[in-house]
Structure 1
Amino acid sequence: MKKILKIMLISISTIITVMVVFLATVYFVNLVSNEREKGKLEDYGQKVMVDGKQMNVLIQGDGKETIVLLPGYGTASPVLDFKPLVKELSPYYRVVVIEPFGYGLSDDTDKVRTSQNYVDEIHECLQKLNIKKYTLMGHSISGIYGLEYVNQYEKEVQAFVGIDSSVPKQETDELPVSSLQLLNQSGLYRLLLKVNPDQLVMPKVDDQTKAQIKMLTFRNFLDESQGSEADNFRNNFKNAQRLHFPKKLPVVFYLADQTEKETPSWKPMHEDLLKNVDRGKVVTFKGGHYLHHTRSKEIAADFKGFLSEIESNR
């Protein structure tokens, strides 16, 4: 029995030692990689001072009409993520991609991520850029922030476009923020992505751009801003339920058929938001939630027609 017990203790000690060494190695590899990647990040866009911090913005195209693009939750680099859509829109419009605090190359912030704070910051950014009239085009969670925005700045916004955008009455899941942040800080998140790189959702871009997106994913993953944003999901969605799109504001929703299959009420909830609107429509495209990765040409073409129709009716 003593011999068996001794063997068991040695085995347990060996397993524990191996686990400790493994976790320590993963942690230090992540630490070193994070430091090394800081020097490899390529700058893009321009910095705008907002609320005492730097917000990164890309402006492309010189068309008469301006489109402001806002990202979905957790997008590592909105500028790089919207690249296919910017390519399709910029020959005809001035396209402005805003990277909110905690996203892309923008600074992080400890300011609570309420819809109101988000809206205030985006508006200040546009004011600093002297952009007074524009179409707001948002993906996913930006449907919630956009609804708040257009109600406050109706005279500035010429139209709202939602790309599989969130709606106030949809179900919202709570993210285990602290656990996920620990996963990232420990280096295990980096290891998981190395084992299964397909977990990263990104557009069809060149390898260099993919590498930049990957590095920005590790840099920004559930930073202070994104952590606070996740913690405020339910309150932000609940507060948005009091809002409607302004009657005279043109609105178009581009929805993904895969999302409609997963959530049968997806299209009806969007149609419900258009009941008060004079000019609004819902268009469904084949594809997943990130429609701007796969259906940029179709979105740009339909939007161009939609905007032309609006102009002709004014």
Structure 2
Amino acid sequence: MAGYKVDDESEEWHELLKRSALAVLYSRANRMKKTITIIGKMIAGLVIALVLFLLIVFVVNIVCNKMEQGKIESYGQSVTVDGKNMNIFIQGEGEETVVLLPGYGTVAPGLDFQPLVDELSPFYKVVVVEPFGYGLSDSTDKERSTENIVSEVHEALQQLQIEQYIVMGHSISGLYGLDYVNTYPNEVSAFVGLDSSVPSISEKKIGSSIIRTIKFLKQSGLARLQVKLGDDPYADLSYDKKTKEQLRMLKHKNMYNSTQLNEAEMMYENFKAAESLSFPKNLPVIFFIQADHPVTDRWVPEHHKQIKDSVYGQVVTFDGDHYLYRTKAKEIVEGLRKFMKEVR
């Protein structure tokens, strides 16, 4: 009888254990279900918050764009090129003319070049060209090949009856300027590079996926937010408060516009096309460049190579960043005037 009793108790004990195990599993499943529900609600909340954030950024960008349109002030004069308006800023009445061409993405060359223009204008007539997509100039759907850009700049100068001049180009305009002096050799009296690009140090090819991402940043308003959260490149410079505000608004207007994005897409091909070009032997060429490039140690040597066959060639280095004309304007003009006196 005792044996049977132990068996009965054993069966009951196992049944109790099974029920306890099931209860524990049920409890765990319940807790997991609640955890998943909470996580799901958190994710949904984050998605809703993100959508609301993007919506706010989008609306703020539209409102700010509308407000800024009425606050942007005109400067310079407009000329018709290829049926569109190109803005040209002119200062100074010197007998000799300097044509200033901007680097890639310069939001408003007529304002951005002001420190250099102020130093040049007592001695030269200074003509700042704002290519399509820059400053107050119209945008264009025409391909941003070097050939088209050079042709448009030349047409603008022809409209203004400017026939003889020094070409001074910053950054990517070193590439366009190289083509320009070979296309119109009888009009250009010298070339001046301001930390100018060289064909042998090519930009990387920009893929369509990157362009789509940049377009999204522009259209969504995130590009405006990016600028707002980033450092102000003009904060510690000599521009007056009004000019800084105009530059800020024009940056929002022109940054990542379709014309400049097409120029970025074409950049690799434009560099490749320039590899076969060199400066005319008898053309005076002077480069004002940064001594220590942050990316490549080939910067100074490659500029020297560009003028190795030039009768009148010189490289001047400065301790400074890519935008030397903002901080070294006086030294650049002094160097240019001395160079031009020597070559004459």
Provide the residue aligned with 1:98 in structure 2.
129
Provide the residue aligned with 1:300 in structure 2.
333
What's the CA shift for 1:162? 0.1
Cα pair distance change 1:172/1:115, threshold 3 Å: same
Give the secondary-structure state (helix, strand or coil) at the position aligned to 2:315.
Answer: strand
What's the CA shift for 1:202? 8.7
What is the CA–CA distance in structure 1 between the aligned matches of 2:109 and 2:291, rounded to whole Å? Answer: 23
2:42 is aligned, of 6, 11, 27, to 11
Provide the residue aligned with 1:131 in structure 2.
162
What is the CA–CA distance in structure 2 between the aligned matches of 1:215 and 1:208, rounded to whole Å? Answer: 11
Moved more, 79-88 or 9-18: 9-18
Provide the residue aligned with 1:44 in structure 2.
75
Tell me the TM-score normalized by structure 1: 0.96
What's the CA shift for 1:244? 0.8
What is the CA–CA distance in structure 1 between the aligned matches of 2:205 and 2:285, rounded to whole Å? Answer: 29
Give the secondary-structure state (helix, strand or coil) at the position aligned to 1:144.
Answer: helix
Give the secondary-structure state (helix, strand or coil) at the position aligned to 1:44.
Answer: coil
Provide the residue aligned with 1:258 in structure 2.
292
Provide the residue aligned with 1:217 in structure 2.
251
CA contact (8 A) 2:96 2:125 kept: yes
Give the secondary-structure state (helix, strand or coil) at the position aligned to 1:262.
Answer: coil
How many residues in Structure 1 have an aligned counterpart in Structure 2?
310
1:192 is aligned, of 221, 226, 235, to 226
- What is the one-letter code of the residue matched to 1:303? L
Give the secondary-structure state (helix, strand or coil) at the position aligned to 2:156.
Answer: helix
Superimposed CA distance per residue, residues 236-267 of structure 1 (whole angstroms, 9 cap, x where no aligned partner): 001101111011100000011232x5321111
Give the secondary-structure state (helix, strand or coil) at the position aligned to 1:284.
Answer: strand
What's the CA shift for 1:6? 2.3
CA contact (8 A) 1:252 1:283 kept: yes
Cα pair distance change 1:258/1:110, threshold 3 Å: same
Give the secondary-structure state (helix, strand or coil) at the position aligned to 2:201.
Answer: coil
Q: Does 1:229 align with 2:263?
A: yes
Provide the residue aligned with 1:276 in structure 2.
309
Greater Cα radius of gyration, structure 1 or 2: 2
What is the CA–CA distance in structure 2 between the aligned matches of 1:5 and 1:263, rounded to whole Å? Answer: 52
Superimposed CA distance per residue, residues 129-153 of structure 1 (whole angstroms, 9 cap, x where no aligned partner): 0000000000000000000000010
CA contact (8 A) 1:67 1:134 kept: yes
Provide the residue aligned with 1:57 in structure 2.
88
CA contact (8 A) 1:138 1:162 kept: yes
Q: Does 1:27 align with 2:58?
A: yes
Tell me the TM-score normalized by structure 2: 0.87
Give the secondary-structure state (helix, strand or coil) at the position aligned to 1:258.
Answer: coil
CA contact (8 A) 1:202 1:210 kept: no
What's the CA shift for 1:174? 3.5
Cα pair distance change 1:84/1:200, threshold 3 Å: closer
Q: Does 1:248 align with 2:277?
A: no
What's the CA shift for 1:223? 1.1
- What is the one-letter code of the residue matched to 1:269? E
2:200 is aligned, of 169, 178, 187, to 169
What is the CA–CA distance in structure 1 between the aligned matches of 2:198 and 2:161, rounded to whole Å? Answer: 30
What's the CA shift for 1:197? 3.2
CA contact (8 A) 2:282 2:311 kept: yes
- What is the one-letter code of the residue matched to 1:208? K
Superimposed CA distance per residue, residues 180-212 of structure 1 (whole angstroms, 9 cap, x where no aligned partner): 121121111111221223367995311211111
What is the CA–CA distance in structure 2 between the aligned matches of 1:258 and 1:200, rounded to whole Å? Answer: 22
CA contact (8 A) 1:136 1:157 kept: yes
What is the CA–CA distance in structure 2 between the aligned matches of 1:200 and 1:283, rounded to whole Å? Answer: 25
Give the secondary-structure state (helix, strand or coil) at the position aligned to 1:197.
Answer: coil
Cα pair distance change 1:202/1:181, threshold 3 Å: farther
RMSD: 1.4
What's the CA shift for 1:121? 0.2
Q: Does 1:73 align with 2:104?
A: yes
Cα pair distance change 1:202/1:229, threshold 3 Å: farther
Moved more, 199-208 or 221-230: 199-208
| Structure 2 unaligned spans of 5+ | 1-29
What is the CA–CA distance in structure 2 between the aligned matches of 1:246 and 1:306, rounded to whole Å? Answer: 17
CA contact (8 A) 2:194 2:288 kept: yes
- What is the one-letter code of the residue matched to 1:267? V
Q: Does 1:181 align with 2:215?
A: yes
| Structure 1 unaligned spans of 5+ | none
Q: Does 1:143 align with 2:177?
A: no
Cα pair distance change 1:49/1:201, threshold 3 Å: farther
